[in-house]
Amino acid sequence: MKKLNILLILLLSIIFSCKKDKTTNFGGVVKDVTTDAPIVNAHVFATERTATGSGYGYKTLGHTYTDACGNFEFDFGKNSDDIYLKAEATGYFDNENNETLISGKKYPNDLVVHLTPRSHLKLNLMKVDTTVTSIEVTILTPINVTINAYIENSAPTMSKIILCNGNQDIPLRFIIKKYKLFTLISTQDITQNYYCFANDTTEYNINY
């Protein structure tokens, strides 16, 4: 009888040890949003939202890196109704505000996560009209930002470096407003064949 009990315990332990938890499998590719080229060695996170005192946060379920073709794959033993994918890579903005949502417990293997390349725009403001006391430059593309500059006649040049989206398809467009004291004296809408190339610094001179 004792031997029978021992055999029964061994049999049950084998059965339970061979029983696997249901796993979550999905995958895809990380690509450059401007060129559609795969991004190698991008860091991809699978997360789920968790409730916090101030709203919600993210809990990491797993992370991995893309291969030489930009592909990634997840296989872990936790199921979640909603999984959020976040990715980051050198020279790119992460997709923090544009995370990919996998919902309804449908886990595809053809997901595409796009990242936007970083770029820098260096504006060289050069004063040529001594009656102008200040200038307001609004960059409409490839990023929406406004720069206000007050430049003395004794130091008529100023440079501003702006972090922006790298995109060789969208030309620079500016709205330039010139002021004499607090009076607007002119407005220019300028579109130039200048582009903020990815992972590079584009210089542009504005004379006013």
Per-residue pLDDT of 180-193, as tens digits, reads 888 889 898 888 77
Average pLDDT rounded to a whole number, residues 72-100: 76
What is the C-alpha separation between 26 and 79, in angstroms, rounded?
A: 12
DSSP secondary structure code for residue 4 in this structure: H
Whether 100 and 147 share a structural domain: no
For residues 68 and 122, membership in a common domain is answered with no
Kindly report the pTM of this predicted structure: 0.67
82 shares a domain with 42:
yes
Considering the domain boundaries, does residue 6 fall inside one? no
pLDDT digits (tens, 9 = 90+) for 127-163: 888 888 888 888 877 666 676 766 666 667 778 888 8
Q: Which domain covers residue 184, as residue numbers?
A: 118-207
Residue 7 lies in a domain: no
My answer on whether 88 and 26 are in the same domain is: yes
Sign of the Cα pseudo-torsion (73, 87, 60, 82, in order): negative
The alpha carbon of 61 is separated from its chain's Cα centroid by a whole number of angstroms, namely 20
- Residues 38 and 74 grouped into a single domain: yes
Where a domain ends, among 81, 109, 137? 109
User: Residue 164's closest CA among 125, 136, 202?
Assistant: 202
Does residue 84 lie within any of the structural domains?
yes
Please indicate, yes or no, if residue 152 is contained in any of the structural domains: yes
**Sequence-ordered list of residues with C-beta below 8 angstroms from that of 30, at least 6 positions apart, any chain:** 38, 39, 42, 44, 66, 70, 72, 87, 89, 112, 113, 114, 115
Last residue of one domain, picked from the residues 56, 83, 109: 109
The CATH number of whichever domain residue 38 belongs to comes to: 2.60.40.1120
Average pLDDT, integer, range 152-177:
77
- What's the distance, CA 52 to chain centroid? 24
Whether the predicted pLDDT of 23 surpasses 60? no
